[in-house]
Chain A
């Protein structure tokens, strides 16, 4: 059933421009670094990051990963929810023989798929940028593969909140405002106390305790997901 629902949700996303957000978000980050490294190539590669240019590229891209992930979660979820909210299609979708919890799960999975696609795109585009820039040294495949992925997992609590809000609140201005505010504050994540989930993606990159924050992110997300799913399953559909 969940497979059918997911297939349906992916079909509903046709021509909504949602995949452009995925593409522009990830490739945009790389393009920014292309500009940065293109303009200051000598300084960055031969001076600042001379000891590890690949690491330098990943680090300077990584600075923007938390804000990009938060923004992506906000935008993607509100676009996904908007497909149903716009013509109030919830009453049609939920009057079909489906479990509400599975509808909720399917919306989550669609967003997760898009976030994962964005991570893959970020990895590939950063690798290509590094190769084009002819960065010297060994290519750190492992880090390239995970420098988007781990912070994404550490940011999952945000997706939990967004999932809940966008799918249950008709007025999308509320979740979007919250999401944007959170993304902007997340820039200072590394200097925030680690009690705040907002700091986790930055800490997952910088603190050296990646797995701890990834685990925290997944744990808090699981709780939020369950609460959201329960509420979504019980609420009245207007």
Chain B
């Protein structure tokens, strides 16, 4: 546990008595892309601001590179690049001047400006005033600013927020390259699981200021489990056939749904169904979508609205997504 890039212990921040971040324990090992997930208002941004020393925790410890943030803030921040929520920029300056304002403080060679502009693909527009940039370009400029000091740790808060699909793809590719090419550890927050799933190697899910899950992405997917769906001509009669075979499915929209069933059982079941003159349209495996999993985990407080959500729209959306695949 010595090679943790970020480690927090019992990090807590309260606003007017309500905890925004509640005894949060983060652990991010070197070289990972760590997806920091949670619905809006879960305390992601508050946590990230505490990691950067922008706000002071009420209690708890932040250690970055194994050093205490409170004592070594400046030394630590020298090795950290950050982009917090919406990009910060000076609209009246062009991209080079924007980066120059940071370069003067970080004291890195001027050539770094061209390098980071190259990395984020803004070389062409470098001399244009940033006011006229699209949101995607501003976001890329923000990432360029974060990269300017050749950081070992990159903290990106919702870097794909408000971007169009091609913009999201670009940023994602950019982030994915970082650990391999430059050995940078990345903390990237998002409220979209699908987003994080596509770039992160480990993930922490936070809800109402508490960490509800922290592990690697494969472990998260394992937790998701899978189900076998069988679509056929007469589901009610088929239920009986299935029970005779020792399987106890549930009926879902004319599908027989089996949980935790192995290959041999499926083979025997299908043979039995065919023997019983059922027309089998489809036998498919459906992984419980991570969206569902995410919702199950984050609706821990089990309030009415999230229950309704779980049962309604997102599930339907998840199914539609799977049907498309």
Chains A and B belong together in one complex: yes
> A residues engaging B (CB < 8 A)?
4-5, 7-8, 11-12, 14-16, 83, 86-99, 234, 236-237
Question: Is A7's CB under 8 angstroms from B104's CB?
Answer: yes
Given contacts A14-B97, A97-B105, A237-B49, contact A91 B54 (CB under 8 A): yes
Looking at the complex, which one of A88, A89, A97, A234 makes contact with B77 (CB distance below 8 Å)?
Answer: A97
Question: Is A97's CB under 8 angstroms from B78's CB?
Answer: yes
In the complex formed, the residue of A with least CB distance to B46 is A236
Looking at the complex, which one of A14, A16, A89 makes contact with B88 (CB distance below 8 Å)?
Answer: A89
B93 CB to nearest chain A CB (Å): 6
* B56 contact set on A, CB distance < 8 A: 234, 236
Looking at the complex, which one of A89, A92, A98 makes contact with B74 (CB distance below 8 Å)?
Answer: A98
In the complex formed, the residue of B with least CB distance to A9 is B101
CA distance A203 to B250 in the complex (A): 90
Excluding A16-B92, A89-B89, A237-B49, 9 further A-B contacts by CB distance (< 8 Å) are: A5-B105, A91-B49, A92-B84, A95-B52, A95-B53, A96-B105, A97-B105, A98-B105, A237-B55
CA distance A237 to B88 in the complex (A): 13
B75 at the A interface (CB under 8 A): yes
B312 CB to nearest chain A CB (Å): 34
- Interface core residue of B84, B92, B97 (most chain A CB under 10 Å): B92
**Which A-B residue pairs are the 7 nearest by beta carbons?**
A92-B88, A236-B55, A89-B88, A97-B77, A97-B78, A237-B54, A95-B52
Question: Is A91's CB under 8 angstroms from B88's CB?
Answer: yes
CA distance A93 to B84 in the complex (A): 11
Question: Is A4's CB under 8 angstroms from B54's CB?
Answer: no
* A8 contact set on B, CB distance < 8 A: 101-102, 104-105
In the complex formed, the residue of A with least CB distance to B79 is A97
B113 CB to nearest chain A CB (Å): 13
Question: Is A94's CB under 8 angstroms from B75's CB?
Answer: no
CA distance A5 to B104 in the complex (A): 7
Interface string of B84-105 (1 = CB under 8 A from A): 1111111111000100111011
Question: Is A14's CB under 8 angstroms from B92's CB?
Answer: yes
* B105 contact set on A, CB distance < 8 A: 4-5, 8, 96-98
Q: Give the residues from 48 to 72 in chain B that come closer than 8 angstroms, CB to CB, to chain A.
A: 49, 52-56
Given contacts A11-B100, A95-B77, A236-B55, contact A4 B88 (CB under 8 A): no
B99 CB to nearest chain A CB (Å): 11
B17 CB to nearest chain A CB (Å): 16
Question: Is A4's CB under 8 angstroms from B104's CB?
Answer: yes
- Interface core residue of A16, A93, A236 (most chain B CB under 10 Å): A236
CA distance A70 to B100 in the complex (A): 32
CA distance A8 to B77 in the complex (A): 18
- Interface core residue of B89, B93, B106, B107 (most chain A CB under 10 Å): B93
In the complex formed, the residue of B with least CB distance to A98 is B105
* B89 contact set on A, CB distance < 8 A: 87, 89
* A88 contact set on B, CB distance < 8 A: 86, 88
CA distance A4 to B100 in the complex (A): 11
Interface string of B137-167 (1 = CB under 8 A from A): 0000000010000000000000000000000
Question: Is A95's CB under 8 angstroms from B54's CB?
Answer: yes
B25 at the A interface (CB under 8 A): no
A-B residue pairs in contact (CB < 8 Å), sample of 7: A4-B107, A8-B104, A11-B104, A89-B89, A91-B84, A236-B56, A237-B55
B8 at the A interface (CB under 8 A): no
Question: Is B49's CB under 8 angstroms from A87's CB?
Answer: no
* B87 contact set on A, CB distance < 8 A: 87
* A89 contact set on B, CB distance < 8 A: 88-90
B208 at the A interface (CB under 8 A): no
B47 at the A interface (CB under 8 A): no
* A92 contact set on B, CB distance < 8 A: 82, 84, 88, 102, 145
In the complex formed, the residue of B with least CB distance to A11 is B101
In the complex formed, the residue of B with least CB distance to A17 is B92
A111 CB to nearest chain B CB (Å): 18
Question: Is B84's CB under 8 angstroms from A97's CB?
Answer: no
Given contacts A11-B101, A236-B54, A237-B49, contact A96 B106 (CB under 8 A): yes
Given contacts A4-B107, A87-B91, A89-B89, contact A94 B97 (CB under 8 A): no
Given contacts A8-B101, A12-B93, A89-B88, contact A97 B74 (CB under 8 A): yes
In the complex formed, the residue of A with least CB distance to B52 is A95
Question: Is A95's CB under 8 angstroms from B106's CB?
Answer: no
* A97 contact set on B, CB distance < 8 A: 73-78, 105-106
Question: Is B93's CB under 8 angstroms from A95's CB?
Answer: no
CA distance A2 to B220 in the complex (A): 48
* A99 contact set on B, CB distance < 8 A: 74
- Interface core residue of B52, B55, B104 (most chain A CB under 10 Å): B104
